[in-house]
């Protein structure tokens, strides 16, 4: 190894989660090293749609659940980065529409709006005319939309890089091109061996997105997170045509009425090679491109994401149904990325059972950009021994991970977290 370095905390993965955790810990005075196998924002954090859902904190006399805490906390952090820290991440409160095409979708949308409003959160049902008063390009054939007025958008790569810059300003070391080749306990801490050297640390945070599973395996732990391929396409730059972020109620209805079998992450578009749902989301970015995504399939074994032309064509056809003007705006580029989906649909945020101060921050599925900053922030507070909201127990890893024994098989690890 070329070098040996030390740190209070090593964070593996310089995506939006790891960068936010590094910023928080460095701001609290910890000596932090943030590692990435490639570059900051080189994974899913840099290639997603940049959509930030924000349902509202809810009633002041009630404690928000984990989903609300992650989304609203991240929404506030993005605002802080853009408005207070002066980082140009393109943050804009735009609102979001979820298109409704059928009566069944209308009933589901109504139920979700009613539930949100009962919690004191902000959501509305829009008629077709009301939808087109907000988004004139929306199809007149739509019955309406679910409207989320607090939703926002930002440039995902720039936002992730901004978080890493803020971490560096606070004193963190950001080490790109440090692919981890081995992890092992050392006393009460860990040795992190990379292709460029070793780092010794007192606490280790695994925040490597779709690579979380292979990294945890190096420490003999099987985390229930698998890599899922997402893919997107974009038009050439266009004059302003869209003002909100957009999605469709078709996939939530499909997942609610015909969930994929147990043993597979929830909310995928394919079961094996068979399509089970169409999924749609997107926005028009600052350059004028309309960027659209949809398919979610289990990733190939080599974890190399490539776009599927047939899936892009299916997604584009659905987008044209919602926004007919896209029929005259063909895709000029396509790309794919890998997302970390947990098998039980819940993120993993907390301390892993076993020796040493080993923490995990992952399994945020397709909404890592949406929920990631607050997820990283809360895990950083755990590492630092600071109070965290009770709802974080919803993502507790204990009882959800398995230990690999020497034969290569795994067994349940259900002992209490080592405090």
Residue 370 belongs to some domain of the structure: yes
**Final residue in a domain of this structure, among 340, 362, 396:** 340
Q: What is the DSSP letter of 392?
A: G
Measured in whole angstroms, how far is the alpha carbon of residue 158 from the centre of its chain? 15
Same domain, 144 and 241: yes
- And the tokens for 419? 């405090």
pLDDT tens sequence across 306-361: 999 999 999 999 999 999 999 999 999 999 999 999 999 999 999 998 778 999 99
**419: in domain:** no
Task: List Cβ neighbours of 89 (8 Å cut-off, separation of 6 or more).
Answer: 78, 81, 82, 154, 155, 158, 159, 162
Q: Are 123 and 144 in contact (CB under 8 A)?
A: no
Per-residue pLDDT of the chain (419 residues; tens, 9 = 90+): 355 689 999 999 999 999 999 999 999 999 999 999 999 999 999 999 999 999 999 999 999 999 999 999 999 999 999 999 999 999 999 999 999 999 999 999 999 999 999 999 999 999 999 999 999 999 999 999 999 999 999 999 999 999 999 999 999 999 999 999 999 999 989 999 999 999 999 999 999 999 999 999 999 999 999 999 999 999 999 999 999 999 999 999 999 997 666 678 999 999 888 999 999 999 999 999 999 999 999 998 889 999 999 999 999 999 999 999 999 999 999 999 999 999 999 999 999 987 789 999 999 999 999 999 999 999 999 999 999 999 999 999 998 998 765 434 444 433 333 33
**pTM across the whole model:** 0.94
Contacts of 310 (CB under 8 A, 6+ apart): none
Task: Please identify, among 284, 314, 340, the residue that sits at the C-terminal boundary of a domain.
Answer: 340
Range of the domain at 322: 96-149+228-340
CATH of the domain at 56: 3.50.50.60
User: 340, 372, 393 — which closes off a domain?
Assistant: 340
How far are the Cα atoms of 56, 113, 219, 346, 382 from residue 73, in angstroms, in the given order?
A: 10, 21, 31, 17, 16
> Do 209 and 239 belong together in one domain?
no
Instruction: Evaluate whether 350 touches 66 at the Cβ level (below 8 Å).
Output: no
Q: How far apart are CA 17 and CA 341, in angstroms?
A: 15
- Beta strands 32-35; 4-12: pairing state: parallel
Q: Is 252 within the bounds of a domain?
A: yes
CB 89 within 8 A of CB 162: yes
Query: 327 and 384 share a domain?
Result: no
375 in the same domain as 262: no
Evaluate the CA torsion angle 94, 140, 295, 290 in order and state its sign.
negative
3-state helix, strand, coil in the chain (%, to 5): 30, 30, 40
Both 304 and 167 in one domain: the answer is: no
Query: Which letter does DSSP use for residue 286 in this model?
Result: T
What's 270's DSSP letter?
A: E
Would you say 51 and 151 are in contact if contact means Cβ atoms under 8 Å apart?
yes
**In b/e form, how buried is each residue of 383-410, taking b as 16+ CB within 10 angstroms?**
bbeeebeebbeebebbebbbbbeeeeee
Number of domains, the chain: 2
In the DSSP assignment, the letter for residue 170 is: T
């Amino acid at each position: 190894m070329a070098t040996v370095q030390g740190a209070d905390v090593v964070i593996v993965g310089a995506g939006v989660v790891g960068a936010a955790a590094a910023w928080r810990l460095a701001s609290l005075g910890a000596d932090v090293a943030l590692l990435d196998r490639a570059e900051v924002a080189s994974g899913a954090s840099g290639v997603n749609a940049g959509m930030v859902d924000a349902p509202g904190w809810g009633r002041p006399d009630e404690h928000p659940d984990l989903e609300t805490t992650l989304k609203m906390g991240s929404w506030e952090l993005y605002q802080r980065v853009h408005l207070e820290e002066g980082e140009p991440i393109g943050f804009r409160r735009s609102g979001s529409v979820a298109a409704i095409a059928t009566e069944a979708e209308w009933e589901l949308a109504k139920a979700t709006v009613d539930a949100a409003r009962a919690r004191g959160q902000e959501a509305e049902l829009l008629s077709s005319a009301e939808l087109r008063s907000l988004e004139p390009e929306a199809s007149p054939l739509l019955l309406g939309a679910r409207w989320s007025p607090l939703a926002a958008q930002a440039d995902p790569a720039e936002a992730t890089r901004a978080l890493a810059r803020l971490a560096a300003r606070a004193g963190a070391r950001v080490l790109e091109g440090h692919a981890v080749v081995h992890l092992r306990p050392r006393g009460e801490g860990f040795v992190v061996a990379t292709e460029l050297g070793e780092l010794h640390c007192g606490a280790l945070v695994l925040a490597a997105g779709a690579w979380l599973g292979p990294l945890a395996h190096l420490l003999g732990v099987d985390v229930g997170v698998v890599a899922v391929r997402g893919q997107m396409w974009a038009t050439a730059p266009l004059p302003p045509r869209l003002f909100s972020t957009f999605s469709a109620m078709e996939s939530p209805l499909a997942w609610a009425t015909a969930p994929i079998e147990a043993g597979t992450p929830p909310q995928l578009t394919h079961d094996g090679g068979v399509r089970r749902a169409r999924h749609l989301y997107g926005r028009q970015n600052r350059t004028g491109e309309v960027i659209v995504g949809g398919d979610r399939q289990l990733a190939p074994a080599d974890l190399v994401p490539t776009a599927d032309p047939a899936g892009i064509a299916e997604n584009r056809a659905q987008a044209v149904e919602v926004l007919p003007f896209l029929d005259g705006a063909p895709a000029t580029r396509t790309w794919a990325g890998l997302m970390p989906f947990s098998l039980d649909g819940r993120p993993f945020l907390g301390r892993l059972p076993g020796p040493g101060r080993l923490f995990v921050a992952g399994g945020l599925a397709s909404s890592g950009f949406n929920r990631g900053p607050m997820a990283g922030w809360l895990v950083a507070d755990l590492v630092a021994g600071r109070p965290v909201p009770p709802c974080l127990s919803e993502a507790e890893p204990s009882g959800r991970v398995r230990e690999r024994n020497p034969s290569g098989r795994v067994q349940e690890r259900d002992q209490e977290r080592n405090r």
